[in-house]
Structure 1
Amino acid sequence: MKKIVFFGLFCLISLVTFGQAADYYLYVGTYTRKTSEGIYVFRFNTKTGDFAPVGVAKGSNPSFLSISADRRFLYSVGGSTGDTARAFAIDKASHQLTLLNAQPTGGKGGTHLEVDKTGKWVIVGNYTSGNLSVLPVAADGSLGKLKEVIQHEGKSIDPERQTKPYVHSINIAPNNKDVFVPDLGTDKIMTYSLNAQTGQLTPGNPPFTTETPGAGPRHFTYHPNGKFAYVIHEMGGTITGFTYKNGALMPFQTISTLPDDYAGRKWCADIHISPDGKFLYGSNRAHESLAIYSINPKTGQLTLVGYQNVLGKTPRNFAIDPTGTFVLVANQDTDNITIFKRDATTGKLTPTGKEITVSMPVCLKFIP
């Protein structure tokens, strides 16, 4: 088995056009609670699945990452209590990162962030404080002082995990206007409208979509055709598909992420669609698997293809490489990122035997 050793990898991010050159750069955010030093950069080959280390940008707990549309800047959320957003410049030649600045987010437990398509605004989801915040971006890519904080309210039925709001992800639509924010604590997907000129977020129409009580919506993805969207439920062990039109979500299907005979903990995490739009994948922590579904191109309906063991424990995050050839799974509690070859016809995955040994990996992203 081929291994490349780095410690504390947390996040591999993907942002490129389908079907370009074989070499991409992989940016990896981390938890630094053990031995990681910050954000790691690799060169990744989409023909072979091989890695080559490029460098590291040091910092505390740079968990989730987001890359600007022009690929000049990278943003992370982290800090000792997840209350800091950082901006980095990406060197065009070397792809090394240079810290520009850091700003407080106005919340606690920052778990997700996204930069809008204009590159002018970064929106952060704060899990512990149950709010989201907006930070402006200067012309040099640095972050300005906090512009707005929106506090969620409410709760749901679980007496331990849903006594208050828990914002889990920020999802800006391709139109750069609609913003969907799954809240695990309230069992709602909150909807906002982004004014890209002012950075203001206003309630969408409708202002939220109600989920099944106790489901705990977590991560969210848009279909490449722009007609469908999907959310994975951390506590419910399900995925719901929606038709997406004019800023509204209309559910058409809810499907389990787990086998019928599974009796263990339901603990879903991440969700992604293959670049060709034909297959959807969702990660199951505890069951230690990726659930694989085919997507009906006309209706968006999901049909179970099967399950792939992730060869590790707690697959908090995973990424499909931009060409759709490989799937990389970040197994947080076994400190490894496993690499699978993807069959474009069936959607099924095959272990390559290649693995990156890291400490607490979580989130995955690419650029050319």
Structure 2
Amino acid sequence: MQQVVYVASPVSQQIHVFSLLANGDLQLLQTVATLGQVQPLLLSPNGQWLYGAQRPDFAVVSYRIGPDGQLKQQGMAPLAGSPSHTAITPCGRFLLAASYAFNHVTVSAIDAAGQVAPPHQQWDGLQAAHSVTLLSRTQPNDQQEVLVACLKEDAIRRFFLTEQGTLLPHPRGAIPTAAGAGPRHLALHPTHRDIYCLNELDCTINRYQREDDGQITLRQRLPMLPAGYQGEHWGADLHVTPDGRFLYSSERASSLLTLFAIAPHDGNLSLLGHYPTESMPRGFAIDQGGRYLLAAGQTSHHLAVHRINEHTGELTLHGRYPVGEGAMWVRVLTLAPSPSAMAHGGSAV
């Protein structure tokens, strides 16, 4: 399995492309000079495109991913506002962009050649729309549900996305969070119906469960930071390991990663520990094998590779690698096996 890591550094206007080796080392493949401050990075479902949303000229840039993971810019389309987060439908036909500063979500079509069109829909009035997440469908004929975390509303707004790429309000309305929580990013469990929400302002994790009737119910609310912590609260990102056993979150003021265990029988979260990482870990990712956590330091300008203990989830720092200034978005892609590797029954490292 050959994996490639993409790191966006908006201040220096760069995307660093690394090969992730089997032993956890990173090998620099390419440094891409971007046309603006690229922030949200998004991989297409077929692994052939990387979409980078940028400012101050609000746009999404399409990069074609080569056989070795290197990028080549192929197109650009305008966005309606400053992008804070993006998502793509499983079919790869629509790109959704949330704008924290402009309080909206937009929908753009993607053509068969992978190129993004200008937005054809803009849903306004979403106060501090920080992220947009597409729920997995439990049945083939289910409608595509979309969740938008609205930080200043203390709510997660619910929508349906039609087959034609049109957002419609969900009849059940919004999912409330605690007052002053500030919902920021969501993550989904890979095999069951649990949804996790990182709250930026009070540094808590909410665990929700999707019921058979479509209701989304709060099951747990846990603190991210150590007991007795007195510093600023500035939650950032969260991700679940591919096997669904562990959840990690990052907090920027303390520069800590928090580990939670996920109970296999009922999904209950248990806080297991805290681990230091790069300063101001704005974003991180977990590799497809669940062996490594890669955290970007927004003020350290480095990417940390942490080894994940497969039994306990504990993190051990494996290495640090220089990236650009203001590093904040990390994405990991598993490349398709090369024809020669498939012919010989082997796989790339």
TM-score normalised to structure 2 length: 0.90
The alpha-carbon distance between structure 1 residues 97 and 57, as it changes in their structure 2 partners (threshold 3 A), is farther
Corresponding residue for residue 182 of structure 1: 149
Deviations 1:252-285 (A, max 9, x none): 0000001121011111000001111111111011
| Cα drift, residue 309 of structure 1 | 0.7
**Structure 1 contact 88–141 (Cα < 8 Å) conserved:** no
**Partner SS state of residue 117, structure 2:** coil
Corresponding residue for residue 136 of structure 1: 109
| Cα drift, residue 58 of structure 1 | 2.6
**Partner SS state of residue 147, structure 1:** strand
> Does the alignment pair 1:339 with 2:301?
no
The letter of the residue matching 1:97 is L
Deviations 1:291-339 (A, max 9, x none): 11101122221111110011x3111011111111111111101111111
Corresponding residue for residue 129 of structure 2: 167
Q: Which residues of structure 1 form unaligned runs of 5+?
A: 1-20, 154-164
CA distance in 1, matches of 2:319, 2:295: 13
**Structure 2 contact 62–116 (Cα < 8 Å) conserved:** yes
Q: Which residues of structure 2 form unaligned runs of 5+?
A: 138-142, 335-349
Find the partner of 1:122 among 95, 99, 105.
95
| Cα drift, residue 142 of structure 1 | 0.9
The letter of the residue matching 2:7 is V
CA distance in 2, matches of 1:126, 1:305: 34
**Partner SS state of residue 110, structure 1:** coil
**Partner SS state of residue 144, structure 1:** strand
Corresponding residue for residue 78 of structure 1: 54
> Size of the alignment, in residue pairs?
328
CA distance in 2, matches of 1:292, 1:254: 15
Corresponding residue for residue 41 of structure 2: 65
CA distance in 2, matches of 1:57, 1:192: 36
**Structure 2 contact 18–26 (Cα < 8 Å) conserved:** no
**Structure 1 contact 274–320 (Cα < 8 Å) conserved:** yes
CA distance in 2, matches of 1:357, 1:141: 28
CA distance in 2, matches of 1:334, 1:47: 24
**Structure 1 contact 100–141 (Cα < 8 Å) conserved:** no
CA distance in 2, matches of 1:226, 1:56: 37
| Cα drift, residue 110 of structure 1 | 0.8
TM-score normalised to structure 1 length: 0.85
Find the partner of 1:352 among 318, 342, 349.
318
Corresponding residue for residue 210 of structure 2: 244
**Structure 1 contact 336–356 (Cα < 8 Å) conserved:** yes
Corresponding residue for residue 90 of structure 1: 65
**Partner SS state of residue 345, structure 1:** coil
> Does the alignment pair 1:293 with 2:267?
no
Trace 1:19-34 onto structure 2 (pairs within 5 A): 21=1, 23-31=2-10, 33=11
> Does the alignment pair 1:204 with 2:170?
yes
Corresponding residue for residue 343 of structure 2: none
| Cα drift, residue 357 of structure 1 | 4.2
| Cα drift, residue 50 of structure 1 | 2.6
**Structure 1 contact 57–99 (Cα < 8 Å) conserved:** no
**Partner SS state of residue 46, structure 2:** coil
| Cα drift, residue 104 of structure 1 | 2.0
| Cα drift, residue 55 of structure 1 | 4.4
Percent identity (aligned): 27
CA distance in 2, matches of 1:42, 1:303: 33
CA distance in 1, matches of 2:265, 2:33: 44
User: How much is the aligned-residue C-alpha RMSD, in angstroms?
Assistant: 1.6
> Does the alignment pair 1:113 with 2:86?
yes
> Does the alignment pair 1:364 with 2:330?
yes
Q: Which stretch shows the higher mean deviation, 40-49 or 114-123? A: 40-49
| Cα drift, residue 57 of structure 1 | 5.2
